[in-house]
Amino acid sequence: MKQMKLMQGNEACVEGAIAAGCRFYAGYPITPSAEIAEGCAVRMPQVGGKFIQMEDEIASCAAAIGASAAGVKSMTATSGPGFSLKQENLGYACLTEIPFVLVDVQRAGPSTGLPTSPSQGDVMQARWGTHGDHPAIALSPSTVEECYTLCIKCFNLAEKYRTPVIFLMDEIVGHLRENVEIPEEGEFEIVNRTVPASPAEAGPAYACKNGSLIPEMAPFGHGQRYNVTGLIHAADGFPTNSTEIADAQVKRLVAKIEENLDDILAWEETDLEDAEVCILCYGGTARSAQSAVEALRAEGIRAGIFRPITLWPFPGKRLEEISRKVKKVLVAEHNNGQILLEAERVIKNNCRIDFIGKVDGTVITPDEIVRKVKEA
Amino acid sequence: MSKMEIRLAGTGGQGLITGTIILAEAGIFENKFVAQSQSYGPEARGGMCKGEVIISDEKIGFTKVTKPTFVMALSQPSFGKYCRDLDEDCFVLVDESIVIPEDWSHKNFLSLPILATAREKVGKMQTVNIVSVGAINKILNFSSEENIKKAVLMHVPKGTEELNLKALEEGARLVK
Amino acid sequence: MASKLIDEYFREDHLPHIWCAGCGHGILMRDVAQAVHNLGLDKDRVVLVSGIGCSSRAAGYMDFNTMHTTHGRALAFATGVKMARPELEVICIMGDGDASAIGGNHLIHAARRNIGITAIIFNNDIYGMTGGQYSPTTPYGEKGTTAPYGNIDRPFDIVKVAEAAGATYTARGTAYDAVRTTKLIEEGIRHKGFSVIECASICPTYYGRKNKKGSAVDMYRWQKENSVSVEKAKGMTEEELKGKLIVGEISRSEFPELTEQYQKIIEKVQGK
């Protein structure tokens, strides 16, 4: 029997992380993500895990990566300005291929902005925030239940692809309390990184075996005494200035995501079968769209929703297909047009593209979407 | 009842957010869909404060209260801010300490001694949110007595159970 | 003896190191290896974390679990490693820029928490990797490429900072005095809480040249002639100690180690 519980989004994120096997959390207080740190402070020792409040955002990101290098699944969470500060070590984890989950409960910016007000302004930062070309996976939940289930998925993707995964929440779902059906253990998949069987069989630390794009990963203390560095490195883990290796390394990091899109991409389609209008939205905004579609359908307007669950990589191919069938795509997001750029990139002239965005710290209401859909 | 949109407003520290969480919890025990949210930041620490909860028979899309069906105001400023421009059939509950302005013509309302009940009958001002919950459930009648009790007990500090159950009962008794 | 040490503790494929002729870092790196050897630690259980800069390259040369991190963040990464796996011996090698500038906050807070990490700072009073800019430990009045008219900042005394912040073991050694410095590092690793060993290195290429300190040999000679033991310093006036390096164990104090305290929380919460 599944249990139905009242849970807050941030709380569900903590429980999802624990269910995924996360046993280390490092963080720094900031709203609207503070409940994640508070939850982990209570829950981690209960499950034999560790919690530490670090001196700043940069240090929390570093500590999470350090713990993962030692073989323990780890997470850090932040919001707004903290996400900017995490970018340095996020890039380190991309290049060193150390998995961990970075939660960003977005708030309105730039800078200190509107603390605790809803926003989705960090979408492009999640893709391009850290310097240099790098892989990016970012998931966005629309319900409290997804704060739980998608957090597990974030850990699974991180472990499988040896890469940091960003859980891009927003204040709307982070602070929402609603019904959650907690899946039973065994009802969801748990992925763990592949660890070399023994130091003797390990081979070079960053060598990929059997055509895979993802090297195995031994935890510190395993016996394979390898080197981890944020410098471009060869398969043995040591720095190199070889242009060929640099090229191959950066391209492999990107390819391990791009060549596994079928496995990674996730989205949801609602009422699109006969739709003339497709609302493209994600995260908390999808809740407004859901009510808007109900209202529109009641009036006989055939609207539906395309909701990317993985914002990065972006399910552009599917959106392109949909854009051939509808008259217009309305992009709704709590920013000044970020996923809109992706929509424009993939839709081109297939159909009309409209946009509704908000940067004032308030939530897009269903009425506002309805009015926009009706606009000639 | 298909969908109730409830807003509780007052002063930070009155525990109204916990009040909405308790209503949401009871809603789940009654097999309803619920969505609870609240105001954050400095407001929740002593200034004006509001908590919202939607309780519905159907899945909830938009999670914020847009057309309240029930509003409670426990302070004059919150009355001023949240008790205007309401639908005719929205039920308004106010504390009897609130002065109703002459230009306010809303018919569907009740004024009850909520603060005084907490202070005098229960003997502890902190129970004002539970007195409110008692009154609200009596008015809206969406939860069984057993379930609302269960919800209250989940969200009050250890050692205060008896006091809060008394507050719940006194709150319900206010509604004739 | 030295060659045996190299065999055992260094990654010979990755030597020779990149440090300039005369640089003090090679000697200090050897001191670390010698200290680990003297303690008989299992290499598989040693994690060496470094930051960015000349000093940080030590991680790549030493045959432990090594992590060359981002500038200044070595202690923050190391904190994650140690919290996650307290049974591992975690050593941080940092430069003066790492430990006292960009990572100064991490040093202070690692000290405050008294986490069981050994912080070894190769202090050459200059940013060598980037070409000789002045650092927080560059002496007052001295020159760097970004202090062409002389440094007007007051230098940090890293040991004092660490002690004030709560480090339960602090010491200072020099590249010149390898025997003493090895002992101090050994003691630091053996110490249960957070230990800081500041190791005065030399940078003949940038600091030496910019400030007309002569050859590397001259700079080591200066270290030799200006080192004053903690014991001897006790009998000297502030005026007499000006410009001297006080070497030896500077402080030791008691406070519960962080990961042990956390383990107790786990046991309490789990009702064990």
Q: Where are the domains of chain C?
A: 2-269
- pLDDT tier, A1 (very low <50, low <70, confident <90, very high otherwise): very low
Residue of B nearest to A32 (CA): B40
CATH number of the domain where residue A355 is located? 3.40.50.920
Which member of A5, A287, A367 has the closest CB to residue B61? Answer: A287
Q: Is residue A355 part of a domain?
A: yes
At which residue do the structure tokens 């003090």 appear? C24
Residues A178 and A273 in one domain: no
CA atoms within 13 A on the CB side of A4: 13
- pLDDT tier, B12 (very low <50, low <70, confident <90, very high otherwise): confident
- pLDDT tens digit string along A188-241? 999 999 999 998 888 899 999 889 999 999 999 999 999 999 999 999 999 999
Per the CB < 8 A criterion, the answer to whether A25 and A76 are in contact is yes
Torsion of CA C186, C189, C194, C199, to 10 degrees: 40
Of residues A23, A5, A1, the one with CA closest to residue A14 = A23
| Gyration radius (Cα) of chain C, Å | 18
Task: Using alpha carbons only, give the angle A168, A170, A171 rounded to the nearest 5 degrees.
Answer: 150
In CATH terms, the fold of domain B3-174 is Pyruvate-ferredoxin Oxidoreductase; domain 3 (3.40.920)
Q: State the average pLDDT over residues A358-370.
A: 96
Q: Is C45 on the interface with A (CB under 8 A)?
A: yes
Note whether ipTM > 0.85 here: yes
Of residues B120, A225, A119, the one with CA closest to residue C36 = A225
This prediction's pTM: 0.97
Chain A from 45 to 74: CB within 8 A of any C CB: 45-46, 48, 50, 52, 54-56, 58-60, 62-72, 74
CA distance to A271, A293, A300, A356, C215, per residue, from A276 (Å)? 10, 12, 11, 18, 80
Report whether pLDDT(A117) > 50: yes
Residues A42 and A175 in one domain: yes
First-to-final CA distance of chain B? 21
Chain C from 197 to 236: CB within 8 A of any A CB: none
Report whether pLDDT(B176) > 50: yes
Residue A213: the pLDDT is 97
Residue A136: the pLDDT is 98
Exposed/middle/buried for residue B139 (C-beta within 10 Å: 0-12, 13-18, 19+): middle
Query: Residue A260 corresponds to which tokens in the numbers above?
Result: 């596994």
3+ Cβ–Cβ pairs closer than 8 Å linking C and B: no
Report whether pLDDT(A292) > 90: yes
Residues A279 and A168 in one domain: no
Residue A116: the pLDDT is 86
At the second CATH level, the architecture of C2-269 is: 3-Layer(aba) Sandwich (3.40)
Torsion of CA B159, B161, B163, B169, to 10 degrees: 180
Which of A158, A182, A206 is the endpoint of a domain? A182
Q: Is A115 on the interface with B (CB under 8 A)?
A: yes
Per the CB < 8 A criterion, the answer to whether C150 and C228 are in contact is no
Residue of A nearest to C82 (CA): A67
- pLDDT tens digit string along B71-101? 999 999 999 999 999 999 999 999 999 999 9
What number of residues does chain B have? 176
Q: Is residue A256 part of a domain?
A: no
Residue C3: the pLDDT is 79
Spell C55-64 as b/e; 16+ CB within 10 A means b.
bbbbbbbbbb
CATH number of the domain where residue A152 is located? 3.40.50.970
Which of A182, A197, A232 is the endpoint of a domain? A182
Torsion of CA A85, A87, A90, A91, to 10 degrees: -140
Report whether pLDDT(B1) > 70: no
A and B: number of Cβ contacts within 8 A: 60
Residue B46: the pLDDT is 58
Which member of C43, C73, C77 has the closest CB to residue A225? Answer: C43
Which member of C68, C85, C108 has the closest CB to residue A229? Answer: C68
Residue C1: the pLDDT is 46
CB contact under 8 A, C59 and A227: yes
Residue A4: the pLDDT is 86
Report whether pLDDT(B44) > 60: no
CB contact under 8 A, B63 and A175: no
- pLDDT tens digit string along B95-146? 999 999 999 999 999 999 999 999 999 999 999 999 999 999 999 999 999 9
Helix axes B145-154, B128-140, angle to 10 degrees: 150
Average confidence score pLDDT of chain A: 96
Residue B37: the pLDDT is 94
Give the total number of structural domains in chain A.
2
Which of A159, A182, A205 is the endpoint of a domain? A182
- Block mean pLDDT (10 aa), chain C, length 272: 84 95 98 98 98 97 98 98 98 98 98 98 97 97 97 97 98 98 98 98 96 97 98 96 96 98 98 86
How many CB atoms are closer than 10 A to CB B147? 17
Beta-bridge mates of residue B53: B6, B36
Question: Percentage of chain A surpassing pLDDT 90?
Answer: 94
Q: Is residue A218 part of a domain?
A: no
Domain hosting residue A284, numbered range: 268-374
